[in-house]
Structure 1
């Protein structure tokens, strides 16, 4: 996607966040189900850039014991499957707003559980040791919703839990700002990869 197209894309989703939270959720469910009318619409399972980003993300994760792991915005479960391989003793869960994506995710790996849920209105039990959220927050929209999304992510963490945010750079500086400002989080690691056609940032935090 060109830089101009990405700007238009982001502006559109900021406008959609003027809807009620429920209305925004309905729109996003329909939007992503439409995209997933065909398998792997963003080539997450085959693209070299995505594979590089996944490897970079996993390398940034602190070497700690993780019992419960959550991926927010798991799509068809490509990265979820990688998490199962990296952390075979953990209980891995993926959530996504698209039922079509989740159908394929369940077929990809039976060793993870998948839940149809919206980040802003999920009913998940708290206490995850490791939470990933990648390429998702720009769909949330304006600042008020982004703050809510960040609070929800932090609220999912157990004490001492690790939060990993991965988004395009330099946009990530804005998308991660509420996590950066959260006094319950301490920054653990951060990396900006500019050696790709689409630079990205990996930000890692730990809950006090």
Structure 2
């Protein structure tokens, strides 16, 4: 992993030592700062991101999804793709940055698409979901106990028989999914090794 990314991970591991409410407040401020300009990570235009989205959609099991949750949705690029591909579903995007969500809400999309500001650990669900997608997010929650709590929260969001799709850098994903593997059944695992930044798309069933 390149040095800037290692330092990035170290920063968030340190932040995770703080009380959950303090960590959540710092993450909100951090991501609002990043989103002072539109699409700071070029999620809508970068070739790597577009390839990752296409791979995730291609591997998504062909099922009927009535309620879909996109965790860490940023400005909603992939959330809108999910809503377009599943027009019968209620699709919810969740992120800690209100700036990002305001841009997500400003994009034209289906009426059954909505966005909510919340962090993963404190997010209060109104229902369990048929499909939960969490991409490039778990490394922000930090180290052991906080990762365990976030993983338990993801498991809790999925209805029995529903799917959790995780998309994260490889091989880092092996560490990030430790607690999920013990709580759900892994039904799909694909590693995109030829990408400039290898990533894994993994599906777990509740």
- Shorter-normalised TM-score: what interval? over 0.9
Report SS of the residue matched to 2:196: coil
Q: Which residue of 1 aligns with 2:157?
A: 156
Alpha-carbon distance between aligned partners in 2 of 1:122 and 1:87, rounded to the nearest angstrom? 23
TM-score (norm 1): 0.96
Is contact 2:135-2:167 (8 Å) kept? yes
Q: How many residues are paired up?
A: 204
- Distance across 1 between alignment mates of 2:109 and 2:32: 22
* Counterpart in the other structure of 1:94: 93
CA distance in 1 between partners of 2:2 and 2:37 (Å): 25
SS in 2 for 1:167: strand
- Name structure 2 gaps, 5 residues minimum: none
Q: For 2:75, what is the secondary structure of its paired residue?
A: coil
Which residue is equivalent to 1:130? 131
Q: Which runs of 4+ in 1 moved over 2 A?
A: none
Deviation, 1:140, is 0.2
The equivalent of 2:63 in structure 1 is 64
Aligned to 2:45: 46
Distance 1:117 1:16 in 2: 18
Shift of 1:110: 3.7
Q: How far does residue 164 in structure 1 lie from its aligned partner after superposition?
A: 0.3
Aligned partners of 2:108 and 2:76: how far apart in 1?
8
Q: Secondary structure at the match of 1:113?
A: strand
Q: Deviations over 1:146-178 (max 9, x none)?
A: 010011001011111100000001101101111
